Every structure is written in structure tokens, then in C-alpha cells.
Amino acid sequence: MNKEFIAIRWHGRGGQGAITAAKIVAGAAFASGYAGVVMAPTFGTERRGAPVMTSLKISKKKIYDLSPIETPDIVVVLDHLLLKEADVTHGLKPGGIIVLNTPMAHESYHFEDYRLATADITAISVEAGLPHGMVNTGIIGSLEKATNLLGIDLLISGIAEEFRTRKPEKNSLAAKIAYERTVAGG
Amino acid sequence: MHIIENGNAAAALGVKLCRANVIAAYPITPQTPLTEKLSEYVELGEMKAEYIPVESEHSALAVCIAASSAGARAFTATSANGLLYMHEQVQWASGARLPIVMCVVNRAVGAPWNVWNDQQDSISQRDTGWIQIYCADHQQIIDTVIKAYWLAEQVSIPVMVCYDGYILSHTFMPFDLPEPEKVDAFLPPFKPDYFLNPLEPANLNTVTLPDVRMDVRGELAHGYMEIRCLLQEDLRKALQTAGEAEKRFAGIFGRKADPFIEPYRCDDAEHVAVGLGSITYQMRVCVDQLRAEGIKIGVMGVRYYRPFPDEAIASALKGKKGVIVVEKALSYGYEGALMSDLKSALYEYLAGTGSLPVVQNFIAGIGGREIRTDDLTQTLRAAAKGRVSKEPLWIGLRL
């Protein structure tokens, strides 16, 4: 992966918090020296539960192109059922990374050209004390485990800051457990 | 201090830093989060202002007109059909010479119904006597709101700060948050020469006759035509004041820019792409690609659309072979409004010099149609080779 410019596309459902998660990663990237970070949600006629997408571009230089990502380096999928509903690997670069929240075993998936990282974020988040279905902080732990991009400590402090009035410890813990338990591989 | 926020938040923070006294707004996508933020600031006591929720955009601007007439610093914001619904009051605000600042979060107008971005809404208000400024990123949004109040209050003309819906309004990026004390140094409290005072009742903007006449004090008063001519003269003079605003701002904040145009790789360019708003930054990426292919091309963003900086634009384009105007709006029945204005400026300054560039017009992103950077690059590549069409061409059209 070219670490000068990284394109991450997030797939979630309306209300799942994909935009907040992408925003936390954007903040951590900026804090770690990426001068250009742009997080652009794709807007349609959203409603709770419908598939939604957001683009996160991270660059060493200011970003002038705000158009949606066409060839991501990484896709983050907050719900494994989206694999059937949306073309989540569309344009994903060969050798690209898929970060997937799923209760299924890593071995039950086969992606030819991509590297897959999985964790049961839904269960992990409940274990961390969050309400069922809150997965947007846990998935950040999985993303970091799969990519080694920004460092888990920086991301966790970003989570604690974003959620300072809404269970900062539990959200941080979800990311920490997810980071430890994510299965990453070919 | 740099923060990462969306464009609507950048605008709201700018309004807060400017210490607006009265905010009146009606929510409309994609402007809604901007006014929500402002109502939060007022509710939390972070901003000492009157937030007046109204039942329509027409009333929103009517409230701002009343507030500004009474000497308050007023703000509103809208998009698309909301702006069109305001139209009568838009004309009134400039005719009454009130220094209101309004953000227009650019969105396509109905019919058919559409909530996505283009610039037909603000372009359709071109001839209303407001100053219109377009922004290409969040730093420009927050800085322009601050400069807009200073400029508006210097020249007694309202200002529209326009930025692309979703593409800027809902996209997060880092920008430098101006320090409150520096904003206070830049923008002193609003003290109009004249404002409504209950102790001295007066009528404002009552029926004004076609001809000049004696007023109640026995002094010769302007007719309607004199008042409107002064608006035109003052708008033209506002170009000078805009230059001063930029200098003042640079002196305090250190961010310096040409107030009217934003050229990129234009110095040795043979061809220059021109546009308004965020698309001009996207075209920088196209220009870099085309430069790598050996095509001498640059891009110029037009920041001030009204008053039109004709001289700055014409001198920047002097000696160029081709000009490629890419617009998100159209004067239906002819061509893009910027295209016409730009050609008029070139004619004024370059006719007879034998160096009038070939000017071409492209229409893009109407109703939020995605503008793929590759398509944009391909368009500029083809246009740099020679004239593609006399009529405006639509990029990404699938008819």
C-alpha cells in the first residue's frame, strides 16, 4: 500500500455510525501528519437501515479532488449482510484489504485478489458494554489491526475524544478488544 | 488551531465568530446542518444572538431585513427552492442597502425535485444587486463569511457566500479556526450610519417617485433611478473595497490571496479552464495530469461573481489560446452565465488586440450528476486540442 495516499471506502447502514467512524480515523490521520484528509459521505435518499457509503481519503498533501473514491485501497464493511446487498469490492485495488464485521469464521470467506480481516464486532461491542448493534468504534480496532496505519493508541484517544460524553471507556474498550481479536490474513 | 469539520460547520463557526446578533432561517437540505449548529450555539449560550425560527425563507430574509434596518448584524442561509422563494426579499435587501450576509448552500432547483448539488440557485440570483462570492474549500468558507461581514458593512450591500451542497457542505476536511480575538480585531461591531430608532420614527423605502423631489425637510431627494444607479456604482466600487478586505485579512490572519481569482499553473499556460466553486479545485488534479502529458493548461477559479471582476479576469486570460468555462448552471436558452460574462470581459479588454482566445463552454454536475475526474480530464484534453462545439456541451450526459 502506498502510504502517501490511501483511499478507504466505508460501507454501513443508515444509523450505524460509519460516518462517525470515518471521521475519527480522519482526525487520527491528520494528527499523525497527513495534511490532507477528506471524508465525503455519499448521499442518496438515506433512511435507517439502508446501505450507505462514505469515502475517506488520506494524503500527505492537501486534497483537491473531493469526488468519490473509485479505486479504494481498503473497504470497511460494518455489516456482513451488506456483502449480498452492495458491491462492496467494486474497484478495490488488487491486493486491497477488506475489513469485515461478521459472526462467521474467517475461513468461510474466499476472496481471490484481496486480503480479508474479520472480527465479530457486534459481539465484541456487547462484551465491551455497548448496546447491541453499536459497531462503529470496534471496527476501527479491526481496521488498524489489518493495516497498521496509524497506531491503535492514537485511534483510541480519537474515539475517547469523539465519544467524550457518550461512554468513552466502553467505546475505547470495544476498539481495543477488536484490535486484539481481529483475524487478518490472505 | 486546525479542526476537522464539514463545510456547514465551517460556515456556522464563521457566523459565531462574527458575533451575528440575529439569525433567522428555515431549514432546507443541504443547508439544514448549518442552521441547526447556529441554533445550538444560541441555545447553549455560546452565542449571544436572537435565533428566530420562521415558517418560510421569505420570512427568514424579511426578519433579517428588519433586524439589519434596526442596526443588528443579521444572518440567514438557504438553498435551491428556498432561495427562489426568498427572491422578492433578496431584491429588497440590496435595494434597501442592508449589509446582511447569507450563505447559499448550492443545490439544484426543481422541477423535477432534486436535493443534490449544482449552482443554478445562486446563479439565478445574479442580477439582484447582491455581492456573490464562491468558495472552493472549508478555509475559504469560514474566512469568506468573516470577510463578507466587513465588506457588506463597508459598502452597505448584502453578500451571498456560496458553497457547493454536499461536496463542501457535508464533506469533512481540516481547516484553521480563526482566533476570536483576531476576528474581533478584523471586524469591529456593526455601527450603521442610520438605523431605525423608536424614539425617532421614520418610514424606510416607501413609494419613491420616478423623478427627484423635495423631501419633508425641504431637501432635494433622489428618485428611484438615482437610488438604483448608486447601487450599481457602489457595487462596482466594491471591487476596490474587496481588495482592501483581503489586505486587512492577510495582515491579521496571514492568509493572503487574490480576492477575485484563484489561478493555478496559469502563468505559462496556453489554455485555461475557468469555473466557480469546488470544481475549480477538482480541475487542479486534471491540470496536473494534462501537464504531465505535455499540455500547457492551467485552471482559474472565479471567486467574485458579482461584482464581476472583469479587469482581473481579462488580464489573467490575455494572450491565452483557449479558455474552457466549466459551469454547474445554465442561462437556459443560451449558454452558461459565467461564459457570457467572461466573453464580455474579454471583448471589452482584448477586442482589436488580435489576441482574443477561443472560448468554449461545458456544463457539468447538474442535479448532482457525479463529475468523474477522468471525464473532466478528458473534456479539458479534447478542448485544449481545438474547438469542440459552438453550443455548450454537457459532461457525462447519457442521452
Prediction ipTM score? 0.94
Residue of A nearest to B365 (CA): A67
| CATH of range B261-394; options 3.40.50.920, 3.40.190.10, 3.30.1510.10, 3.40.50.720 | 3.40.50.920
So what's the pLDDT on residue A37?
Answer: 97
Contact assignment for B284 to A64 by CB distance below 8 Å:
yes
Contact assignment for B166 to A39 by CB distance below 8 Å:
no
pLDDT at A186 over 70: no
Whether B60 and B100 have beta carbons less than 8 Å apart is answered as: no
The CA distance from B217 to B8, in Å, is: 47
Contact assignment for B170 to A41 by CB distance below 8 Å:
yes
Check if A154 contacts B (Cβ < 8 Å): no
Contact assignment for A64 to B173 by CB distance below 8 Å:
no
Angle between helices B337-350 and B310-317 (to 10 degrees): 70
CA B236 → CA B131, B136, B239, B309, distances in Å?
10, 24, 6, 9
Domain ranges of chain B: 2-186, 261-394
From first to last of its 399 residues, chain B has per-residue pLDDT tens of: 999 999 999 999 999 999 999 999 999 999 999 999 999 999 999 999 999 999 999 999 999 999 999 999 999 999 999 999 999 999 999 999 999 999 999 999 999 999 999 999 999 999 999 999 999 999 999 999 999 999 999 999 999 999 999 999 999 999 999 999 999 999 999 999 899 999 999 889 989 999 999 988 899 999 999 999 999 999 999 999 999 999 999 999 999 989 999 999 999 999 999 999 999 999 999 999 999 999 999 999 999 999 999 999 999 999 999 999 999 999 999 999 999 999 999 999 999 888 899 999 999 999 999 999 999 999 999 999 988 899 999 999 999
So what's the pLDDT on residue B146?
Answer: 98
Please indicate whether the domains covering B2-186 and B261-394 agree at the CATH topology level: yes
The CA distance from A72 to B208, in Å, is: 62
pLDDT at A58 over 70: yes
CA B145 → CA A1, A175, B8, B94, distances in Å?
39, 39, 12, 18
| b/e B254-278 (16+ beta carbons within 10 angstroms → b) | eeeeebbbbbbbbeebebbbbbbbb
Pairs of CB atoms within 8 A across A/B: 54
- A182 to chain B, minimum CA–CA distance in Å? 28
Grid coordinates given for A83 = 456483502
| CATH of range A5-185; options 1.25.40.340, 1.25.40.10, 3.40.920.10, 3.30.450.40 | 3.40.920.10
Contacts of B47 (CB under 8 A, 6+ apart): B16, B19, B20, B38, B41
So what's the pLDDT on residue A185?
Answer: 79
> If we measure between CA atoms, which residue out of B107, B95, B51, B94 comes closest to residue B76?
B51
So what's the pLDDT on residue A46?
Answer: 63
Task: Return the DSSP state at A56.
Answer: E
Would you say the C-alpha torsion B369, B372, B373, B374 has a positive or negative sign? Answer: negative
Contact assignment for B173 to A70 by CB distance below 8 Å:
no
Residue of A nearest to B172 (CA): A39
Task: Return the DSSP state at B356.
Answer: P
So what's the pLDDT on residue A49?
Answer: 80
Q: How confident is the model at residue A32 (pLDDT cuts 50, 70, 90)?
A: very high
Q: How many residues does chain B have?
A: 399
Give the DSSP H or E segment for B136. none
Q: What share of chain A is helix, strand, coil (3-state, %, to 5)?
A: 35, 25, 45
Phi, psi (5° rounding) for residue B285? -65, -40
So what's the pLDDT on residue B20?
Answer: 98
Contact assignment for B285 to A64 by CB distance below 8 Å:
yes
Beta-carbon neighbour count of residue B327 at 10 Å? 27
Contact assignment for B284 to A39 by CB distance below 8 Å:
no
* Touching B: A residues 24-83, CB under 8 Å: 26-27, 30, 35, 37-41, 43, 63-68, 70
Q: Which of A39, A67, A161 should we substitute to test contact with B (largest number of B Cβ atoms within 10 Å)? A: A67
Residue A40 with chain B: CB contacts under 8 Å: 167, 170-172
CATH no., domain B2-186: 3.40.50.970
Mean pLDDT for A106-129 is 95
Nearest-5° Cα angle at B152, B151 to B153: 90
Nearest to B173 among A37, A41, A68 (CB): A37
The CA distance from B73 to B69, in Å, is: 9
So what's the pLDDT on residue A151?
Answer: 95
Q: State how beta strands B297-302 and B2-6 pair.
A: unpaired
The CA distance from B273 to A43, in Å, is: 28
Q: How confident is the model at residue A44 (pLDDT cuts 50, 70, 90)?
A: low
pLDDT at A45 over 80: no
Task: Return the DSSP state at B55.
Answer: S
